[in-house]
Structure 1
Amino acid sequence: MCITFIETNPNPKNGEYRLIIASNRDEFYKRPSKQAFICPDTKIIGGRDLEENRENGMWLGLRVDEKKQILRFGCLLNVTGEEKNANVQSRGFIVPNYLKTKDSPILFFENLLKSGEFNAFNLVSVELNKKEVTTYFLSNTPNQVCKFSGEQTLGFGNSPINRPLTKVRNGRYKFKEIIQTSKSKEELKNALLKLLKSSEKNLPDPELQRRAPQAFEQLSSIYVDIKKMYGTRTHSIILVDKDWNIEFHEDTMDSPINPEDIIWKTSSIKSNL
């Protein structure tokens, strides 16, 4: 399970933001990963999967192209409760391939769906430039592409876009309220982090119960913790202010993770467009 909230505003006032993203990564604690960093070759910012045969896959990342003056963001969300096939391509390379491609988003999406089979996924992306901002939602369950232009407040999770989980709907409203009421960047970041750490159950949720009948109660909160073996292990907050200052903030469990003594590491990567 993962969850992502996005606010876009192509014409912010002083003190407002062009882009705000708050996202949780949920994964098995034993799966090795690397804390967010800037790749010196690709300039991609984000953490990396270190699982054998899936090295350098990504769940979330962004890339700033200073020459073209474009920020590109991508986030991968699995679709809960769908059949899994071990003999298909790894989904972890979808995000870095998207961030590196020279193709337009639509062309990349079309080629991705034609190129091979993957287990069920949702891909959320943002294209931000000096003129406009566009958010895309791509899924192979079923195949579809949705486009959201201009000022938007959006939430995405581990289900089809037309059947959002209750925690996605509820979280989106809280996300919007935090943005409207926060009076400083630090207040905003702290409030978003508190939202990402919320253990409140969002029930009832018939869609989640249908997709995960054995674990829907544990999965109904934004922050997930299941038997000290699986749960939320990374919080990511991305801010792009009116003056194009970019901050990628990450709180992540130090790997290897000891469920009896979890250590959180905080990092902040700054750039500009």
Structure 2
Amino acid sequence: MCLIAFAWRVHPEFPLVVVANRDEYLDRPAVPAHWWPDATDLLAGRDLEAGGTWMGLSRNGRFAALTNYRDPSRRHSAAPSRGRLVRQALETGEDTLAALHAIAADSVRYAGFNLLVSDGLTLGVHESTTGAVSLLEPGIHGLSNHLLDTPWPKLAHARRHLTALLQRLPADDDVLALLRDETAAADEDLPRTGVSLEWERLLSPVFIRAPGYGTRCSSLILVGRDGRTRFREWTWEDDGGLRSEVLHGFTITR
């Protein structure tokens, strides 16, 4: 993922609410969220190039999602795929902190990333570029291609609109208005991450359309206090048109 906004233990009926966009090269093959035939307790999209995923859930209530850290000076061409870390976090039996520390112990081998992990009881983050591992307090948080809650314009926008969206749940008709916003940030508000100014502009909207690169799918996850869970995902064509939509519902079993 390249943009995740989430509400942790804020809504009285939905302890975890996630809205997210996955940005990726347009020619990298992937399939929408589904129950994996080779890991039947795992619900996630799948990267068909490396076999991992960017965000997923498990039947026992685990959640994990990963964003890349944007810094061209940190390129690591021989690094393994970061998508395997999400699967590792979903399939382990360890609690949130133990799972994050296990991944942090080996994260230097990977290109920069941020990983969110929840065991259903707690939610935490590992930032590989700082080495930090921490549990999150209740609140509305966000990740893009920098550290947790870095106030990039699109992340501030997403957090603000998620706050408004919470008041209307379980109705989710306004989710796409948030995730499809193509408004670019003003030049003076752009981050400076080491790419050209032209690319900073192209990457600044919530929903990205750029040469060979863009938002590939948009997702909504609602985890209810009663364990009932909803995963809705929209997949986009290269030109931004809707390719497909999937909706999965299940009840967490511990």
- Per-residue deviation, 1:34: 1.2
Change (3 A) 1:240 1:112: closer
Partner of 1:142: 130
Does 1:125 find its partner at 2:112?
Answer: no
Q: Does structure 1 residue 73 correspond to structure 2 residue 63? A: yes
Match in the other structure for 1:269: 248
Match of 1:235 among 218, 238, 244: 218
CA contact (8 A) 1:36 1:45 kept: yes
1:241 is displaced (CA, Å) by: 2.6
Once superposed, which parts of structure 1, at least 4 consecutive aligned residues long, lie more than 4 Å away?
204-207, 260-263
1:114 aligns with 2:111: no
Contact 2:95 2:119 in 1 (8 A): no
- Cα separation, 1, equivalents of 2:154 and 2:185: 5
Report deviation, 1:204. 4.6
Alpha-carbon distance in structure 2 between the residues aligned to 1:208 and 1:10: 29
Aligned residue runs from structure 1 range 55-204, under 5 A: 56-65=51-60, 71-82=61-72, 83-115=74-106, 117-128=109-120, 133-149=121-137, 151-161=138-148, 163-180=150-167, 182=168, 185-186=170-171, 189-204=172-187
Q: Choose 152-161 or 106-115, whichever is displaced more.
A: 106-115
* Cα distance in 1 between the residues matched to 2:11 and 2:240: 45
Q: What is the Cα-based RMSD across aligned positions, in Å?
A: 2.2
Which string of whole-angstrom CA distances, capped at 9 and with x for unpartnered residues, describes residues 90-125 of structure 1?
Answer: 211000011001222222222223235100001112
Flag structure 2 segments of 5+ consecutive residues without an equivalent: none
How far the C-alpha of 1:11 sits from its partner, in A, is 7.5
- Residues 267/162 of structure 1: CA separation in 2 closer, same or farther (3 Å cut): closer
Residue 209 of structure 1: CA displacement?
Answer: 2.9
How far apart, in 2, do the equivalents of 1:73 and 1:6 lie? 12
Please tell me the residue identity of whatever aligns with 1:234.
Answer: C
**Deviation readout 1:22-43 (Å, 9 max, x if unpaired):** 0100001110011111124341
Indicate the percent of aligned positions where both proteins have the same amino acid. 25
In structure 1, stretches of 5+ residues that fail to align are 66-70
**Structure 1 counterpart of 2:230, from 222, 244, 247:** 247
TM-score, structure 1 as length reference: 0.83
> 2 CA distance for matches of 1:205 and 1:171?
19
Letter in 1 for 2:55: L
Aligned residues of 2:7 and 2:18 also touching (Cα < 8 A): yes
- Aligned to 1:168, the other structure's residue is in SS state helix
How far is 1:194 from its partner?
A: 1.4
* 1:231 shift after superposition: 0.5
